[in-house]
């Protein structure tokens, strides 16, 4: 366990950067494999690598029937999210998708939970939701009044991704019997099995892997070992070490990382509407989660 708090902040910052980089990785990998093959590779490699970490951290690996049912629903949600995530990036731009989806997810999560719990929305939170909605509409460039651009296929995929991930989050939050890392480990296993049985010819994929160049392997390494195994492990350790709210504050590095890295590696243009909309949604998320912008610097 990392005892130095400033050092741990550095580890979390890199974890968020790798999460942002995963949008760029998918763009590169989409020219080598389809959405199902990528899910199998990402989840398969991840659960294999997570197993020794779980043993090292001495988490109990046994799960009960209730947790198994939750794993099933979480796996379905993850597969659906991964498919539209891939298709959105394949048809659109990685930077825009990373900015839109990662800022819209907390807002959609709040709305879904409010609806499920029949919770009234305060004036402050209503303002946050309006501001967030304005930010999302700005990122979608709705003010251009170009219907084809607003309802483009990639935007639809990105919006679906921002709905499937909150469902995955809510289902995962119902797990109270085992550690989040062990739960995620089983979700990756079931997702891999589901994809390999119904959608992927594993033997053919295995043969093709050895024909791919270094660009494929570098991006696969980043999206599996760094963006999934490393980042997920650091995130869960951070929740135990710093608390959920403080760790969640770092997630706002993900959209900016996706935009910057997409600009560097994919030569994607960062538009004013994307930046302005992202700022609006980030402010809205801070209000919705009662987070303090300067919280980290006061400690």
How high is the pLDDT of residue 271? 83
d(CA 151, CA 140) in angstroms, rounded, equals 9
How high is the pLDDT of residue 298? 39
d(CA 215, CA 221) in angstroms, rounded, equals 10
Q: Which residues of 126-142 are buried (b: 16+ CB within 10 A; e: fewer)?
A: eebbebbebbbebbbbb
pLDDT in tens, the chain (299 residues): 455 677 788 888 899 899 999 999 999 999 999 999 999 999 999 999 999 989 988 888 999 999 999 999 999 999 999 999 999 999 988 888 888 888 888 888 888 888 888 777 778 878 888 888 888 888 877 777 567 766 788 889 999 999 999 898 888 888 888 888 899 999 999 999 999 988 888 787 888 888 999 999 999 999 999 999 998 888 877 766 766 556 666 777 888 888 889 989 999 888 888 888 888 888 887 777 665 444 433 33
pLDDT per residue as tens digits for the range 29-84:
999 999 999 999 999 999 999 999 899 888 889 999 999 999 999 999 999 999 99
Question: Would you say 224 and 50 are in contact if contact means Cβ atoms under 8 Å apart?
Answer: no
Return left, alpha or beta for 58; rule: phi > 0 is left, psi -120 to 50 is alpha, else beta. Answer: left
d(CA 79, CA 108) in angstroms, rounded, equals 19
């Amino acid at each position: 366990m990392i005892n130095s708090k400033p050092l741990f902040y550095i580890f979390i910052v890199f974890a968020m950067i790798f999460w942002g980089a995963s949008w760029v990785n998918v763009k590169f990998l989409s020219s080598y494999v389809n959405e199902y093959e990528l899910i199998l590779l990402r989840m398969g490699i991840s659960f294999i690598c997570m197993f020794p970490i779980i043993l090292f951290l001495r988490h109990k690996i046994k799960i009960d029937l209730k947790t198994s049912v939750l794993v099933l629903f979480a796996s379905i949600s993850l597969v659906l999210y991964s498919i539209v995530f891939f298709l959105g990036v394949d048809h659109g731009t990685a930077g825009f998708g990373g900015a839109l989806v990662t800022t819209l997810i907390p807002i959609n999560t709040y709305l879904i939970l409010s609806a499920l719990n029949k919770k009234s929305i305060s004036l402050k939170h209503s303002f946050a939701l309006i501001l967030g909605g304005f930010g999302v509409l700005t990122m979608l460039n709705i003010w251009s009044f170009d219907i084809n651009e607003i309802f483009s296929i990639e935007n639809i995929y990105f919006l679906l991704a921002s709905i499937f991930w909150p469902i995955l989050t809510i289902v995962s939050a119902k797990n109270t019997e085992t550690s989040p890392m062990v739960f995620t480990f089983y979700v990756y296993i079931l997702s891999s099995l589901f994809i390999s049985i119904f959608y992927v010819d594993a033997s053919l994929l295995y043969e093709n892997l050895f024909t791919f160049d270094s660009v494929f392997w570098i991006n696969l390494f980043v999206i599996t070992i760094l963006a999934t195994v490393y980042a997920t492990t650091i995130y869960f350790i951070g929740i135990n070490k710093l608390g959920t709210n403080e760790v969640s504050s770092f997630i706002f590095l993900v959209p900016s990382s996706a935009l910057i890295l997409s600009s560097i590696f994919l030569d994607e243009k960062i538009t004013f509407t994307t930046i302005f909309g992202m700022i609006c949604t980030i402010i809205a998320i801070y209000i919705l989660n009662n987070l303090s912008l300067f919280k980290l610097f006061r400690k």
